[in-house]
A and B are shown apart, each in its own frame.
Chain A
Amino acid sequence: MSENIQRVSPLADIAIQGRFGADHGAPGVVLSVRHPVQIATVIARKGKAKALADALKNWRGATAQWAGAEQYFVLERPFDEVRRKLEGLASCSDQSHGRVIIRIEGPKVRQVLCKGTPVDLHESEFEIGKSALTQMAHVGVHLTRVGRDAFELSVFRGFSESFWEWLSEQAEEFGYQVI
């Protein structure tokens, strides 16, 4: 493929870098878009749920996030590799272009996210690495805790602009930085 064919994020002109919202010193949260990223939906074939879970657990270099019953998102590996690796265990579908992952991190992250999700994200209730499927501002969100005060929000590509606008408005009162 020609060099000048580049993947273009739907948020390329929306998630502009800079400091926004209230200025109380350090930003309350930092927002960023993970792009380009490889995402595959993998769903266990009949009777292979355990084998799939084991295969994903032992797969170094790939991140597997729970995404429903016997279903995961596998990140960071090329789709062909995912399909080959999980042959016979799972049905795989490429979603690299179909979903947009927004990372939100910072001391006020829970105060921002509680304006959207009914899921309790308190440290004691939602450990690092845990994922949840929920809805925020009428948009379906796959949410994963990726650090102490860091979360990734994955939404359908078509909603990403609308969702970004809503999310960044909720962060305004704490001040936010886009990187």
Chain B
Amino acid sequence: MLIKCPHCGTRPVEEFTFNGDASIQRPTSNDPKTMDQWFDYVYLRDNPKGRFEEYAHHSSGCRAWLVVARDTQTHEIFSVVTARDYAKKRVAS
């Protein structure tokens, strides 16, 4: 499988380390009332068949964290963006 790193170009999947669902956002509040949100953030994960946005660290390359949108069934990759841009876009929307 090949992943097109926005910095390094196309590289094989072994250069990357994965860190799960990117669509989940770290809660910002430290209010004890938000504890449920924290439990969800730390422990609750879906395992979708189909489109999935996943954190990928280019650990054997430029060391950027990326978000790879791929199909878990066909292995088709729809897009690769930096985690930085992904986070900024999320804040903006």
The interface of chain A, by Cβ under 8 A from chain B, is 68-69, 118-119, 132-135, 140
Using a Cβ cutoff of 8 Å, how many contacts connect chains A and B?
29
B15 within 8 A of A: yes
Q: Is the CB of A134 within 8 A of B82?
A: no
Q: Is the CB of A68 within 8 A of B15?
A: no
- What band does the interface of chain B fall in when counting residues whose beta carbon is under 8 Å from A? 10 to 19
- A133-B64 Cα distance, complex, nearest whole Å: 11
Residue among B7, B15, B64, B82 making CB contact with A118, cutoff 8 Å? B15
B12 within 8 A of A: yes
- A68-B5 Cα distance, complex, nearest whole Å: 11
Q: Is the CB of B62 within 8 A of A118?
A: no
B4 within 8 A of A: no
Q: Is the CB of B11 within 8 A of A118?
A: yes
B27 within 8 A of A: no
Q: Is the CB of A133 within 8 A of B12?
A: no
Question: Nearest-CB distance from B59 to chain A (Å)?
Answer: 9
Chain B residues in 8 Å Cβ range of A135: 15, 60-61
B42 within 8 A of A: no
B75 within 8 A of A: no
- A96-B11 Cα distance, complex, nearest whole Å: 28
Q: Is the CB of B60 within 8 A of A134?
A: yes
Q: Which of B47-93 contact A (CB under 8 A)?
A: 60-64, 82
Instruction: Output the nearest chain B residue to A139 by Cβ-Cβ distance.
Output: B60
B8 within 8 A of A: yes
- A68-B82 Cα distance, complex, nearest whole Å: 12
CB pairs A–B below 8 angstroms (29 shown): A68-B7, A68-B62, A68-B63, A68-B64, A69-B7, A69-B62, A69-B64, A69-B82, A118-B11, A118-B12, A118-B15, A119-B9, A119-B11, A132-B8, A132-B61, A133-B8, A133-B60, A133-B61, A133-B62, A133-B63, A134-B8, A134-B11, A134-B15, A134-B60, A134-B61, A135-B15, A135-B60, A135-B61, A140-B60
